Amino acid sequence: MCNKYALITGASEGLGKFLAIECARRKMNLVLAALPGSGLKSLQQYLIKEFEIDVLCIEVDLSEYKNCYQLYQHVKDEGICISALINNAGIGGTYPFDDKDAWYYSKMIALNVATPTILCRLFLADLRKNAPSFIMNVSSLAGIFHLPNKQVYGGTKSYLIGFSESLRKELMADDISVSVLCPGGMNTYWQLLMDNRIKGTWISRQSIMEPCKVAEIAIRKMLERKELIITGFWNRCFLFFNHLFPRKIKNGIMNYQMSKLKRKETLAPALQPHFITAKN
Amino acid sequence: MKIFITGATGYIGHRLMLAAVSKGHTVHALVRNSSSTQIILHQNISFFKGDITEYNSVLAAMEDCDAVMHAAGITQLWHPDRTVFYRVNVGGTKNILEAACFHNVKKFVFTSTCGVLGPSFKYPISEEDPRITPFENDYEISKHCAEELVKEYSRRGLFAVIVALPRVYGPGPLTDGNPVSKFIGDTIKRKIGFIPDAKQVVGNYAFIDDVIEGHFLALQKGMGGEKYNLGGENHSYEELFDNIRKASDKKIHVVTVPKFLFKIASEFVYAISLITRRHTHFTPKIVDRLYQDRAVSCEKAVRQLGYRITPFENGIQQTIQFLKSKNYV
């Protein structure tokens, strides 16, 4: 019998970092994967010191198909048993469809759709062997509410909801619990944090949460074997109304919110650093 | 060296200015109020009237400077208008960074707070540790944003160092930036001290002289884009009182107040200040802070900068002597 580990992808920043900290608090050993040079080592050192757990970190670009296999092989070579797989790595953003090129979207689809699917498939045998075990796929509220300027992102996140809910029914008999996490907006970057304190509409402010709070709820609900995890009271309310209201009214509210946000943006230009080039 | 200093009428900035001229530097100090009592006549100090939120006043005052020490900011933990934190602490910092790039300043030292790092758990918190609890107030968020802004400019080529300060105490005017010394003075004067019923809760207390010296060490030896905690020793409330008693030779009654009483009192004060739109130090969230361990590790500054820490006992003695000399106690 070997020690059990949780694997978290995209663990160096944002929500992934806090998911790692929440698991560490519960004394779960960790395998953390993230892009090279993203500060994974310092997180590893901190977790080992503060929580006295075993942490293995693997620096890898998971948007490459073959690197997913490499990650799997690396874990196997270390003789580590994975009993929880948290697919958190992803690319997001809000922009008009023609802002990015086709290559960018193919990258996004690879990381947000293909990678979690491949990792679930690769680790399935291990998860079965180490049951009771857990899979959590990190989707988004944008996968439920189809917001403008989040076309590809929303689509990839919708896939994760469908994939997870189907897989959950299949793996129930193996004692593997599949959950899907749908957080709303999060303060994962300092500029977002500040913008949310000084502008934004009432609804958008209610929906936005701190990543450490989201992570705490997510890990707790995952261990409670919940299927769909929606974080925050207001987000759950919005979802409830989403089921209740006819399409016409929903679209009306959304357009109103979007136009209000845009108006506010023109009134208070974001504090983008516009660098004056230094005299050399 | 010609140094541009902001916040020169505040606790830290004022001492920075004095230390700079005593080290033979020339100072350009930006002040909002030209009749402030903190303004002193010195051949090597030029005062410029301005405000860090007004870019042009910063640009004019920084002309010809080699280095910048940015110690201005809103230091309160709560303000009725929260946007003021972002306008001054983030917007103001951006103006100074922009001006520093424009004037091709060689070194930039930004004074921040250990509050950004959050509470400590098993070990004293160090610069690279992730914050694992949410931010509790707009002061900390604004300082965090300002630090990130400084790092962003540093990545683009500005040589910028961040220094983070815990609770600072020591001789000096008993302003908003020096609450610990005021607390020590009030405790001795009244011979009674109120502390939370969690005597073992640890905080970090930095002696002002160490902090000032640390700023200049950061200016000389600091690495670009790095952050250094300039703190002191970690002590519990109980140890703080023991030291005050010992150094003042006075009998001081310590009254421990249960948390719920503190909470009720602060809710009351908070409600009044919300109605009157007046500033207060005593909000429910600030009470919660009193119950959090805030131990800080200064190992990086000691190792990389040669930062030195005055023993707590010694620092408290000097502070009380100062308070006595000013007839405060």
Q: How confident is the model at residue A269 (pLDDT cuts 50, 70, 90)?
A: very low
pLDDT at A260 exceeding the cut of 70: no
pLDDT one-digit tens code per residue, A63-85: 988 999 999 999 999 889 899 99
CA-nearest residue of chain A to B120? A50
pLDDT at B161 exceeding the cut of 60: yes
Which region among A182-186, A271-275, B155-159, B216-220 has the lowest average model confidence (pLDDT)?
A271-275
Between CA A267 and CA B11 the distance in angstroms is 36
Instruction: Give the A window 50-109 contacts with B, CB below 8 Å.
Output: 50
Q: How confident is the model at residue A33 (pLDDT cuts 50, 70, 90)?
A: very high
Alpha helix segments (H runs only) across chain A: 14-25, 40-51, 65-77, 102-109, 115-129, 151-171, 190-198, 202-207, 211-223, 233-244, 247-267
Taking the CA atoms of A41, A43, A44 and A48 in sequence, report the sign of the dihedral they define.
positive
Pair B58, B95: CB distance under 8 Å: yes
**How many CB atoms sit inside 10 A of residue A128's CB?**
13
Best mutation target, B59, B88, B127, B128, to test chain A (most A CBs within 10 A): B128
Rounded mean pLDDT, A252-258: 75
CA-nearest residue of chain B to A42? B128
Chain B: nearest CA to A90, how far in angstroms?
A: 21
Which of A18, A194, A210 faces B145 most closely, judged by CB atoms? Answer: A194
Which of B82, B133, B156 faces A275 most closely, judged by CB atoms? Answer: B156
Position A44 scores a pLDDT of 93
B194-211 residues labelled b (16+ CB within 10 A) or e (exposed) = ebbebeebbbbbbbbbbb
Position B64 scores a pLDDT of 93
Position A265 scores a pLDDT of 47
**How many CB atoms sit inside 10 A of residue B187's CB?**
23
At A136 the three-state DSSP class reads strand
Contact B129 A46 (CB under 8 A): yes
Q: How far is CA B276 from CA A198, B138, B271, B273, in A?
A: 22, 20, 9, 5
Percent of chain A beyond pLDDT 90?
A: 56
Contact B153 A275 (CB under 8 A): yes
pLDDT at A36 exceeding the cut of 60: yes
**pTM (global) more than 0.90:** no
Q: Could you please report the per-residue DSSP string of A239-265?
A: HHHHHHS-HHHHHHHHHHHHHHHHHHH
pLDDT at A254 exceeding the cut of 90: no
Chain A: nearest CA to B154, how far in angstroms?
A: 11
Position A266 scores a pLDDT of 44
Q: How confident is the model at residue A38 (pLDDT cuts 50, 70, 90)?
A: confident
Kindly indicate whether the ipTM for this predicted assembly is greater than 0.85, answering yes or no.
no
Q: How confident is the model at residue A222 (pLDDT cuts 50, 70, 90)?
A: very high
Rounded mean pLDDT, B128-144: 90
Chain A: nearest CA to B98, how far in angstroms?
A: 7
Q: How confident is the model at residue A201 (pLDDT cuts 50, 70, 90)?
A: low
Which region among A76-80, A142-146, A158-162, B273-277 has the lowest average model confidence (pLDDT)?
B273-277
Contact B138 A276 (CB under 8 A): no
Residues 6+ apart with CB under 8 A from A66: none
Q: When comparing pLDDT for A243 and B74, which is higher?
A: B74
In one-letter notation, the amino acid at residue B18 is: L
pLDDT at B24 exceeding the cut of 80: yes
Token couple for B142:
């604004």
Chain B: nearest CA to A162, how far in angstroms?
A: 32
Q: When comparing pLDDT for A260 and B43, which is higher?
A: B43
Half-sphere exposure of A71 (CA within 13 A, CB side): 31
Rg (chain B; Cα; Å): 19
Position B309 scores a pLDDT of 96
pLDDT at B277 exceeding the cut of 80: no
Q: When comparing pLDDT for A163 and A98, which is higher?
A: A163
CA-nearest residue of chain B to A39? B128
Q: How confident is the model at residue A274 (pLDDT cuts 50, 70, 90)?
A: very low
Of A132-141, A230-239, B125-134, B278-287, the range with the highest mean pLDDT is A132-141
Q: How confident is the model at residue A272 (pLDDT cuts 50, 70, 90)?
A: very low
Pair B248, B320: CB distance under 8 Å: yes
At B321 the three-state DSSP class reads helix
Contact A43 B130 (CB under 8 A): yes
pLDDT at A278 exceeding the cut of 50: no
Q: How confident is the model at residue A262 (pLDDT cuts 50, 70, 90)?
A: low
Pair B42, B19: CB distance under 8 Å: no
- Residues of B near A (CB-CB distance < 8 A)? 82-83, 86, 90-91, 94, 97-98, 101-102, 104, 121-123, 128-130, 132-135, 138, 141-142, 144-145, 148-149, 152-153, 156-158
Percent of chain B beyond pLDDT 70?
A: 100
Which region among A166-170, A223-227, B34-38, B52-56 has the lowest average model confidence (pLDDT)?
B34-38
Look up residue A143 and give its DSSP letter. Answer: G
Token couple for B148:
């990130």
Pairing of strands B202-207, B233-236: antiparallel
pLDDT at B210 exceeding the cut of 70: yes
Of A226-235, B157-166, B282-291, the range with the highest mean pLDDT is B157-166
Q: How confident is the model at residue A200 (pLDDT cuts 50, 70, 90)?
A: low
pLDDT at A4 exceeding the cut of 70: yes
- Report the mean per-residue pLDDT for chain B: 91
Which region among A14-23, B184-193, B224-233 has the lowest average model confidence (pLDDT)?
B184-193
Q: How confident is the model at residue B133 (pLDDT cuts 50, 70, 90)?
A: confident
Which chain A residues are closer than 8 Å to B116 by Cβ?
Answer: none
Contact A190 B144 (CB under 8 A): yes
**Residue whose C-alpha is closest to residue B70's, from B134, B7, B10, B158:** B7
pLDDT at A46 exceeding the cut of 50: yes
pLDDT at A270 exceeding the cut of 80: no
Rounded mean pLDDT, A198-226: 85
Best mutation target, B64, B101, B155, to test chain A (most A CBs within 10 A): B101
Look up residue A172 and give its DSSP letter. Answer: G
Pair B312, B205: CB distance under 8 Å: yes
B20 sits in which H/E element: helix B11-22
A2 touches chain B (CB under 8 A): no
**A-to-B residue pairs, Cβ atoms closer than 8 angstroms:** 67
Rounded mean pLDDT, A187-216: 80
A49 touches chain B (CB under 8 A): yes
Position B3 scores a pLDDT of 97
Token couple for B120:
């400590």
Rounded mean pLDDT, B1-13: 93
Which of B83, B94, B141 faces A273 most closely, judged by CB atoms? Answer: B94
pLDDT one-digit tens code per residue, B65-123: 999 999 999 988 888 888 899 999 999 999 999 999 999 999 999 999 999 999 999 89
Which region among B167-176, B247-256, B277-286, B307-316 has the lowest average model confidence (pLDDT)?
B277-286
Q: What are the residues facing B69 on neighbouring strands?
A: B5, B109
